[in-house]
Amino acid sequence: MSAADFSRDLEAHRGYLLRVARLQLRDEALAEDVVQETLLAALSGSGFSGKSSLRTWLTGILKHKIVDAIRRKQREPASASSFGNLESELAIEDFDALFGERGDWDAEPADWGDPEAALGQAQFFDVMDFCLDKLPPNTARVFMMREVLDLETDEICKELGITANNLWVILYRARMSLRQCLEQNWFAGQGASR
């Protein structure tokens, strides 16, 4: 692949990378900088071997750039939390209907077949992005920080100014909402409907 083709392929992923960076950093200028650093690192390095998709490889680079940016921000003087009002995102009662009186599933989750096989399909990530976009912004941000960026509980709590209990409630809400969305939009018809 020529350098021009590779550069064009990288640019095609800019929108996705910027969306992830904005969600995590909540700072437009910093998000732009982090995405730019990611694309520059991809262009200057020869690390792409084709063993994963280009998007996965770029997301890995972006993850490290975002974590670096978050850690730099943590070293700056403390300011008011940008996390906003958590009350609406901490309530978990709307999921009570999924469980019986003893705490077991009221209706068992749908059979997902072979979920790992779904990860190999590009359309799955489109549906996953769709489901993430349906989450409340702070819930999606917490989920991405924990599950994509692999940040530790202490780091997330410090960055967002929340307690560990709040973090676990938000993660619970995110996982339950994503499970429902993926069942409806992917596993019910293996990506046929959305």
What are phi and psi for residue 26, nearest 5 degrees?
55, 35
Question: Taking 70 as the threshold, does the pLDDT of residue 154 lie above it?
Answer: yes
Q: In this structure, are 58 and 92 located in the same domain?
A: no
Give the mean pLDDT of 95-116.
62
Identify the residue with better confidence: 4 or 62: 62
Give the mean pLDDT of 148-158.
86
> 40, 58, 79: which is the final residue of a domain?
79
Give the mean pLDDT of 20-27.
82
Q: How far apart are CA 53 and CA 118, in angstroms?
A: 14
CA nearest to 161, candidates 78, 96, 90, 100: 78
Q: State percent of the chain over pLDDT 90.
A: 7
Amino acid at 151: L
pLDDT of amino acid 93: 54
Least confident interval from 135-139, 177-181, 187-191: 187-191
CA neighbours within 13 Å on the CB side: how many for 106? 7
The pair of structure tokens assigned to 79 is 């300011």
> 47, 79, 111: which is the final residue of a domain?
79
Task: Find the domain containing 18 and state its range.
Answer: 1-79
pLDDT of amino acid 32: 94
> 79, 97, 119: which is the final residue of a domain?
79
> Total structural domains in the chain?
2
Q: What CATH number does the domain containing 133 carry?
A: 1.10.10.10
Q: How far apart are CA 97 and CA 67, in angstroms?
A: 37
Q: What CATH number does the domain containing 52 carry?
A: 1.10.1740.10
Identify the residue with better confidence: 68 or 79: 68
Q: How far apart are CA 20 and CA 2, in angstroms?
A: 27
pLDDT of amino acid 87: 53
Question: Taking 70 as the threshold, does the pLDDT of residue 19 lie above it?
Answer: yes
Question: Taking 80 as the threshold, does the pLDDT of residue 173 lie above it?
Answer: yes
Q: How far apart are CA 187 and CA 115, in angstroms?
A: 9
Instruction: Say whether pTM exceeds 0.75.
Output: no
Position of tokens 């950093």? 25
